[in-house]
Amino acid sequence: MIVLLVGVLVGVAGALLAWLLAAFYLAELLTRTKRWRVEGNPADLRLRHEEIEFFAADGACIRGWYMESPGARATVVVVHDAQGTRSDPSQGLLDLQRDYLRRGINVLSFDLRGRGESEGDDDHLGAAELTDVEAAVGYARNRSAHAPLFLHGFGMGAALALIVAAREPAISGVIADSPFVSMRSHVRHEYQQWPEFVFWLATWLARRFLHADVDAITPIDVIPQLRQPVLYIHAEDDPEVPVEHTLNLGAASLNAGDGIWISPAGGHCQAYLDDSATYLARCIAHIDSVVSPRRPLARAL
């Protein structure tokens, strides 16, 4: 009997240890970010720009660039996706920034912490990255205090933009390309092969020991209170963030100024590369719905 009891206890202890080790491994996966090199810069497109750095609330140094359009009628802060950079060629970010600049709009684009050239090593699942976006907003306001400010985010960057807009009433509007309703639902979809009990413990460990809170970004909770107009963009066949995320966010909105464009493009955040003319026209129309359109004073080259 004692031998049997010992065997049971050893088995239980082994199972608990395996659960803990598996959860630690998953927590590390959830917070791992691959630092991609910033490919290209505005000078490659014959655009004048300024290399900048500013600091998030916790002191992390965030690096990016600022492009000023003479007589700008607005400023757009571009927030890249979780595994991207400020110039992400897989989503056409540098070309998009050129298009904004040539239409009389200032552009600030930066690398979230742990990505590109900014400080940091880990993905905090948005908990710390929110302060990066807030710092970028502060920098943009200081550079052009009178220009209406818009956030244009992609994937996780779109979710961050929605949360920050809810906190910052000075932001005039948001363009959210492929956002998710919550970080928890997004990463659960990405790691759906893992059992729920392992996933639950992994997210607890990530929050407790790795300062990565999976519940820090939940746009669906702030959408009903969001006063700024939002243009939601999503590819119909997005394999990473299903289009239902954007449809649910749009359905939760009480703002008559919101718009939704479901692009026929395939892939995640591919709407701009698929049809840049239509994409840009919709973005400019969204900005013009808030800002009086006018011809830029000069072409920024």
Length of the chain: 301
The closest of 92, 5, 98, 88 to 44, measured between CA atoms, is: 98
3-state secondary structure 266-287: ECCCCHHHHCHHHHHHHHHHHH
CATH number (domain holding residue 72) = 3.40.50.1820
Residue 6: pLDDT band by 50, 70, 90 thresholds? low
Q: What pLDDT digit, counting tens, does each position of 67-107 carry?
A: 999 989 999 999 999 999 999 999 999 999 999 999 999 99
In a domain, 12, yes or no: no
Q: Is 43 exposed, middle or buried (0-12, 13-18, 19+ CB in 10 A)?
A: exposed
Question: How much is the pLDDT for 299?
Answer: 47
Domain enclosing residue 165, as ranges:
31-182+217-288
- For residue 215, pLDDT over 90 is answered with yes
Q: Is 14 within a domain?
A: no
The answer to pTM > 0.85 is yes
> Which segments of 213-299 does DSSP mark as H helices, in order?
219-222, 244-252, 271-274, 276-288
Question: Residue 196 falls within a domain, yes or no?
Answer: no
In a domain? residue 208: no
The answer as to whether 279 is a domain residue is: yes
Residue 247 in any domain: the answer is yes
Q: pLDDT value at position 16? A: 80
6 belongs to a structural domain: no
Tens-digit pLDDT profile for residues 157-176 = 999 999 999 999 999 999 99
Q: Which pLDDT tens digit goes with each residue over 224-256?
A: 999 999 999 999 999 999 999 999 999 999 899
Residue at 20 is within a domain: no
The pair of three-digit structure tokens given for residue 182, joined into one six-digit string? 């919550």
Which pLDDT tens digit goes with each residue over 127-138? 999 999 999 999
Give the number of domains in the chain: 1
